[in-house]
Amino acid sequence: MIPEMHENLNWAVLGTGVIANEMAQALQKMGRSLYAVGNRTHEKAVTFAEKYGVSKVYDKIEDMFYDDAVDIIYITSPHNTHYAFMEQALLHGKHLLVEKSITLNSRELDKMIALADEKHLLLAEAMTIWHMPLYQKLWEIVKSGELGKVQIITMNFGSFKEYDMKNRFFNMDLAGGAMLDIGVYALSIVRSFMDETPDDIVSQWKASPTGSDEQATILLKNGSGQMATVALSMHSKQPKRAMISCEQGYIEIMEYPRADKAVIVDANTGNVREIACGDTANALYYEMLDMENAVKTGDASSMHLAYSKDVMDIMTRLRKSWNMKYPGETW
Protein backbone atom coordinates (compact mmCIF):
# COMPACT_ATOMS: atom_id res chain seq x y z
CA MET A 1 0.00 0.00 0.00
CA ILE A 2 1.41 3.40 -1.03
CA PRO A 3 1.31 5.81 1.94
CA GLU A 4 -1.02 8.79 1.71
CA MET A 5 0.83 12.06 1.12
CA HIS A 6 0.11 15.57 2.27
CA GLU A 7 -0.25 18.19 -0.47
CA ASN A 8 2.73 20.05 0.97
CA LEU A 9 5.04 17.27 2.03
CA ASN A 10 5.96 17.29 5.71
CA TRP A 11 9.68 16.86 6.38
CA ALA A 12 11.18 15.71 9.67
CA VAL A 13 14.91 15.80 10.34
CA LEU A 14 16.80 13.36 12.54
CA GLY A 15 19.78 15.25 13.97
CA THR A 16 20.62 18.92 14.47
CA GLY A 17 24.13 19.26 13.04
CA VAL A 18 25.46 21.23 10.07
CA ILE A 19 23.50 19.30 7.43
CA ALA A 20 20.25 19.58 9.41
CA ASN A 21 20.73 23.36 9.56
CA GLU A 22 21.35 23.54 5.81
CA MET A 23 18.30 21.36 5.22
CA ALA A 24 16.05 23.69 7.26
CA GLN A 25 17.42 26.66 5.31
CA ALA A 26 16.75 24.86 2.01
CA LEU A 27 13.12 24.36 2.97
CA GLN A 28 12.89 28.06 3.77
CA LYS A 29 14.07 28.75 0.20
CA MET A 30 11.05 26.73 -0.92
CA GLY A 31 8.89 29.04 1.19
CA ARG A 32 8.26 26.26 3.68
CA SER A 33 9.16 25.28 7.22
CA LEU A 34 10.44 22.03 8.58
CA TYR A 35 7.61 20.12 10.25
CA ALA A 36 9.51 18.26 12.97
CA VAL A 37 12.89 17.54 14.51
CA GLY A 38 14.27 14.77 16.70
CA ASN A 39 17.69 14.54 18.30
CA ARG A 40 19.47 12.38 20.86
CA THR A 41 19.90 15.49 23.03
CA HIS A 42 16.41 16.94 23.45
CA GLU A 43 17.64 20.42 24.41
CA LYS A 44 19.49 20.74 21.09
CA ALA A 45 16.29 19.82 19.23
CA VAL A 46 14.37 22.52 21.12
CA THR A 47 17.00 25.15 20.26
CA PHE A 48 16.99 24.04 16.62
CA ALA A 49 13.18 24.24 16.46
CA GLU A 50 13.17 27.77 17.88
CA LYS A 51 15.78 28.86 15.34
CA TYR A 52 13.85 27.59 12.31
CA GLY A 53 10.22 27.78 13.43
CA VAL A 54 9.82 24.00 13.49
CA SER A 55 6.32 22.93 14.53
CA LYS A 56 7.15 19.81 16.48
CA VAL A 57 9.97 18.53 18.69
CA TYR A 58 9.94 14.85 19.63
CA ASP A 59 10.71 13.79 23.19
CA LYS A 60 12.35 10.66 21.78
CA ILE A 61 13.73 10.13 18.27
CA GLU A 62 11.58 7.00 17.89
CA ASP A 63 8.39 9.12 18.15
CA MET A 64 9.21 10.50 14.69
CA PHE A 65 8.62 7.11 13.08
CA TYR A 66 5.11 6.80 14.57
CA ASP A 67 3.96 10.29 13.53
CA ASP A 68 1.39 9.93 10.71
CA ALA A 69 1.88 13.59 9.75
CA VAL A 70 5.48 12.96 8.59
CA ASP A 71 5.98 12.18 4.88
CA ILE A 72 9.78 12.29 4.50
CA ILE A 73 12.54 11.89 7.06
CA TYR A 74 16.04 13.24 6.43
CA ILE A 75 18.52 11.20 8.49
CA THR A 76 21.64 13.24 9.31
CA SER A 77 23.06 11.22 12.22
CA PRO A 78 26.48 9.41 12.14
CA HIS A 79 26.87 6.64 9.51
CA ASN A 80 26.76 3.80 12.01
CA THR A 81 23.30 4.82 13.29
CA HIS A 82 21.65 4.97 9.85
CA TYR A 83 20.67 1.33 9.43
CA ALA A 84 18.61 0.99 12.63
CA PHE A 85 16.87 4.33 12.06
CA MET A 86 16.19 3.51 8.38
CA GLU A 87 14.64 0.16 9.24
CA GLN A 88 12.26 1.70 11.80
CA ALA A 89 11.30 4.57 9.51
CA LEU A 90 10.56 2.31 6.54
CA LEU A 91 8.57 -0.13 8.68
CA HIS A 92 6.39 2.82 9.69
CA GLY A 93 5.79 4.09 6.16
CA LYS A 94 8.24 6.98 5.81
CA HIS A 95 10.07 8.01 2.66
CA LEU A 96 13.78 8.44 3.43
CA LEU A 97 16.59 10.74 2.38
CA VAL A 98 19.74 9.57 4.18
CA GLU A 99 22.97 11.52 4.51
CA LYS A 100 26.02 9.99 2.87
CA SER A 101 27.27 7.41 3.33
CA ILE A 102 23.80 5.94 3.28
CA THR A 103 24.81 2.80 5.24
CA LEU A 104 28.02 1.21 6.51
CA ASN A 105 28.11 -1.52 3.88
CA SER A 106 26.37 -3.32 1.01
CA ARG A 107 24.59 -5.84 3.22
CA GLU A 108 22.82 -3.05 5.08
CA LEU A 109 21.96 -1.13 1.92
CA ASP A 110 20.64 -4.20 0.08
CA LYS A 111 18.34 -4.99 3.02
CA MET A 112 17.01 -1.44 3.14
CA ILE A 113 16.44 -1.30 -0.63
CA ALA A 114 14.43 -4.53 -0.39
CA LEU A 115 12.40 -3.18 2.55
CA ALA A 116 11.69 0.13 0.77
CA ASP A 117 10.52 -1.79 -2.32
CA GLU A 118 8.30 -4.03 -0.20
CA LYS A 119 6.69 -1.00 1.48
CA HIS A 120 6.43 1.05 -1.77
CA LEU A 121 8.57 3.78 -0.28
CA LEU A 122 11.27 5.97 -1.75
CA LEU A 123 14.77 5.53 -0.32
CA ALA A 124 17.64 7.74 -1.46
CA GLU A 125 21.12 8.84 -0.47
CA ALA A 126 21.65 12.57 0.10
CA MET A 127 24.51 12.78 -2.40
CA THR A 128 24.83 16.38 -3.63
CA ILE A 129 26.53 15.30 -6.87
CA TRP A 130 23.34 13.59 -8.10
CA HIS A 131 21.46 16.90 -7.92
CA MET A 132 23.79 19.79 -8.77
CA PRO A 133 22.67 21.27 -12.14
CA LEU A 134 26.30 21.36 -13.28
CA TYR A 135 26.49 17.58 -13.36
CA GLN A 136 23.26 17.26 -15.33
CA LYS A 137 24.93 19.51 -17.92
CA LEU A 138 28.28 17.69 -17.90
CA TRP A 139 26.64 14.25 -18.18
CA GLU A 140 24.70 15.55 -21.21
CA ILE A 141 27.92 16.80 -22.84
CA VAL A 142 29.69 13.48 -22.27
CA LYS A 143 26.70 11.44 -23.49
CA SER A 144 26.46 13.59 -26.64
CA GLY A 145 29.86 12.25 -27.70
CA GLU A 146 31.37 15.66 -28.45
CA LEU A 147 34.38 14.85 -26.26
CA GLY A 148 34.61 11.22 -27.33
CA LYS A 149 34.71 8.33 -24.90
CA VAL A 150 35.66 8.84 -21.26
CA GLN A 151 39.07 7.20 -20.83
CA ILE A 152 40.59 8.11 -17.45
CA ILE A 153 39.19 9.83 -14.36
CA THR A 154 41.50 11.30 -11.71
CA MET A 155 40.09 12.20 -8.28
CA ASN A 156 41.63 13.91 -5.26
CA PHE A 157 40.08 14.72 -1.89
CA GLY A 158 42.14 15.41 1.21
CA SER A 159 41.36 17.08 4.52
CA PHE A 160 43.77 17.89 7.30
CA LYS A 161 42.02 16.75 10.46
CA GLU A 162 43.88 17.08 13.77
CA TYR A 163 44.77 13.79 15.43
CA ASP A 164 41.86 13.79 17.87
CA MET A 165 40.95 10.14 17.98
CA LYS A 166 37.61 10.82 19.66
CA ASN A 167 36.19 12.93 16.85
CA ARG A 168 34.06 11.37 14.12
CA PHE A 169 36.82 11.54 11.51
CA PHE A 170 38.94 8.87 13.24
CA ASN A 171 36.62 7.31 15.83
CA MET A 172 35.80 3.72 14.87
CA ASP A 173 32.73 3.77 17.13
CA LEU A 174 31.35 6.57 14.91
CA ALA A 175 32.35 4.82 11.65
CA GLY A 176 35.20 7.25 11.06
CA GLY A 177 37.67 7.18 8.19
CA ALA A 178 38.25 8.64 4.76
CA MET A 179 36.23 6.15 2.71
CA LEU A 180 32.74 6.74 4.12
CA ASP A 181 33.28 10.44 4.79
CA ILE A 182 34.97 11.75 1.62
CA GLY A 183 35.69 8.72 -0.59
CA VAL A 184 31.98 8.38 -1.27
CA TYR A 185 32.07 11.72 -3.15
CA ALA A 186 35.06 10.75 -5.28
CA LEU A 187 33.64 7.33 -6.14
CA SER A 188 30.23 8.83 -6.95
CA ILE A 189 31.89 11.06 -9.57
CA VAL A 190 33.78 8.08 -10.95
CA ARG A 191 30.66 5.94 -11.24
CA SER A 192 28.54 8.69 -12.80
CA PHE A 193 31.02 9.34 -15.65
CA MET A 194 31.77 5.67 -16.36
CA ASP A 195 29.62 3.68 -18.79
CA GLU A 196 29.46 0.76 -16.34
CA THR A 197 30.56 0.05 -12.80
CA PRO A 198 34.25 -0.83 -12.32
CA ASP A 199 34.99 -4.47 -11.48
CA ASP A 200 38.79 -4.50 -11.49
CA ILE A 201 39.85 -2.69 -8.30
CA VAL A 202 43.18 -2.54 -6.46
CA SER A 203 44.24 -0.29 -3.60
CA GLN A 204 46.65 0.51 -0.83
CA TRP A 205 45.77 2.16 2.46
CA LYS A 206 47.17 3.53 5.69
CA ALA A 207 45.43 3.13 9.04
CA SER A 208 45.12 5.91 11.61
CA PRO A 209 46.05 5.15 15.25
CA THR A 210 42.43 4.01 15.82
CA GLY A 211 42.47 1.62 12.86
CA SER A 212 40.27 3.80 10.64
CA ASP A 213 41.36 4.45 7.04
CA GLU A 214 43.45 7.62 7.26
CA GLN A 215 44.47 7.60 3.60
CA ALA A 216 44.13 5.45 0.51
CA THR A 217 44.96 5.28 -3.16
CA ILE A 218 42.60 3.30 -5.38
CA LEU A 219 42.80 2.15 -9.01
CA LEU A 220 39.58 1.16 -10.79
CA LYS A 221 38.81 -0.23 -14.25
CA ASN A 222 35.56 -1.40 -15.86
CA GLY A 223 34.75 -3.78 -18.68
CA SER A 224 34.83 -0.95 -21.22
CA GLY A 225 38.46 -0.20 -20.38
CA GLN A 226 37.64 3.05 -18.59
CA MET A 227 39.96 3.72 -15.65
CA ALA A 228 40.06 5.90 -12.55
CA THR A 229 42.53 6.82 -9.84
CA VAL A 230 41.36 8.07 -6.45
CA ALA A 231 43.56 9.58 -3.71
CA LEU A 232 41.97 10.16 -0.28
CA SER A 233 43.45 11.54 2.94
CA MET A 234 42.19 12.68 6.35
CA HIS A 235 45.47 14.04 7.75
CA SER A 236 46.89 15.61 4.59
CA LYS A 237 45.33 18.43 2.58
CA GLN A 238 44.54 17.89 -1.11
CA PRO A 239 42.41 19.89 -3.53
CA LYS A 240 38.89 18.62 -4.16
CA ARG A 241 39.72 18.12 -7.82
CA ALA A 242 38.10 15.92 -10.46
CA MET A 243 39.51 15.44 -13.95
CA ILE A 244 37.55 13.48 -16.56
CA SER A 245 39.81 12.75 -19.53
CA CYS A 246 38.08 11.91 -22.82
CA GLU A 247 39.39 11.21 -26.32
CA GLN A 248 38.82 14.79 -27.55
CA GLY A 249 39.37 16.80 -24.37
CA TYR A 250 39.09 16.85 -20.62
CA ILE A 251 36.80 18.26 -17.96
CA GLU A 252 38.24 19.73 -14.76
CA ILE A 253 36.04 20.36 -11.72
CA MET A 254 37.25 22.00 -8.51
CA GLU A 255 35.38 21.72 -5.18
CA TYR A 256 33.41 18.96 -6.85
CA PRO A 257 30.98 17.86 -4.08
CA ARG A 258 28.88 21.01 -4.64
CA ALA A 259 30.43 22.39 -7.82
CA ASP A 260 28.68 25.02 -9.93
CA LYS A 261 31.39 25.49 -12.56
CA ALA A 262 33.78 23.38 -14.62
CA VAL A 263 36.37 23.89 -17.34
CA ILE A 264 36.46 21.91 -20.58
CA VAL A 265 39.73 21.88 -22.52
CA ASP A 266 39.70 20.85 -26.19
CA ALA A 267 42.47 18.32 -26.87
CA ASN A 268 43.04 19.46 -30.46
CA THR A 269 42.93 23.28 -30.16
CA GLY A 270 43.68 23.84 -26.47
CA ASN A 271 40.57 26.00 -26.35
CA VAL A 272 39.25 26.45 -22.80
CA ARG A 273 35.51 26.68 -22.18
CA GLU A 274 33.91 27.36 -18.80
CA ILE A 275 30.59 25.75 -17.95
CA ALA A 276 28.68 27.48 -15.15
CA CYS A 277 25.40 26.02 -13.96
CA GLY A 278 23.48 26.21 -10.68
CA ASP A 279 24.75 27.64 -7.40
CA THR A 280 26.88 25.93 -4.76
CA ALA A 281 24.86 27.64 -2.02
CA ASN A 282 21.70 25.86 -3.18
CA ALA A 283 23.08 22.29 -2.99
CA LEU A 284 20.56 21.00 -0.46
CA TYR A 285 17.72 22.88 -2.12
CA TYR A 286 18.33 20.96 -5.36
CA GLU A 287 18.58 17.71 -3.42
CA MET A 288 15.33 18.18 -1.55
CA LEU A 289 13.46 19.46 -4.60
CA ASP A 290 14.41 16.31 -6.51
CA MET A 291 13.35 14.18 -3.54
CA GLU A 292 9.95 15.87 -3.33
CA ASN A 293 9.39 15.48 -7.08
CA ALA A 294 10.37 11.81 -6.88
CA VAL A 295 7.93 11.18 -4.03
CA LYS A 296 5.10 13.05 -5.76
CA THR A 297 5.56 11.53 -9.22
CA GLY A 298 6.86 8.09 -8.30
CA ASP A 299 9.79 8.62 -10.70
CA ALA A 300 12.93 8.20 -8.61
CA SER A 301 15.44 8.26 -11.48
CA SER A 302 16.84 11.64 -10.37
CA MET A 303 17.86 10.12 -7.01
CA HIS A 304 20.30 7.65 -8.64
CA LEU A 305 19.97 4.92 -6.01
CA ALA A 306 21.51 2.41 -8.44
CA TYR A 307 24.69 4.53 -8.54
CA SER A 308 24.65 4.78 -4.73
CA LYS A 309 24.47 0.98 -4.58
CA ASP A 310 27.39 0.58 -7.01
CA VAL A 311 29.47 3.00 -4.93
CA MET A 312 28.58 1.20 -1.69
CA ASP A 313 29.58 -2.13 -3.27
CA ILE A 314 32.99 -0.66 -4.19
CA MET A 315 33.53 0.81 -0.71
CA THR A 316 32.53 -2.43 1.00
CA ARG A 317 34.81 -4.46 -1.26
CA LEU A 318 37.74 -2.14 -0.46
CA ARG A 319 37.20 -2.20 3.31
CA LYS A 320 36.89 -5.99 3.23
CA SER A 321 40.22 -6.19 1.39
CA TRP A 322 41.75 -4.04 4.15
CA ASN A 323 39.95 -6.01 6.87
CA MET A 324 38.76 -2.65 8.23
CA LYS A 325 35.60 -3.54 10.11
CA TYR A 326 33.70 -1.25 12.48
CA PRO A 327 32.71 -2.39 16.00
CA GLY A 328 29.52 -4.45 15.77
CA GLU A 329 29.47 -4.31 11.97
CA THR A 330 28.21 -7.35 10.04
CA TRP A 331 29.39 -7.79 6.46
pTM of the complete model = 0.95
Please report the pLDDT score of residue 50 as a whole number: 96
pLDDT tens-digit map of 58-68? 999 999 999 99
Q: Contact at 8 Å (CB) between 204 and 217?
A: yes
List, in order of start, the domains of the chain with CATH numbers. Answer: 11-126 (3.40.50.720), 130-284+311-322 (3.30.360.10)
- Of all residues in the chain, what percent carry a pLDDT higher than 70? 98
**CA 283 from centre of chain:** 12
The kind and range of the H/E element at 157 are strand 150-160
Please report the pLDDT score of residue 3 as a whole number: 42
Please report the pLDDT score of residue 7 as a whole number: 64
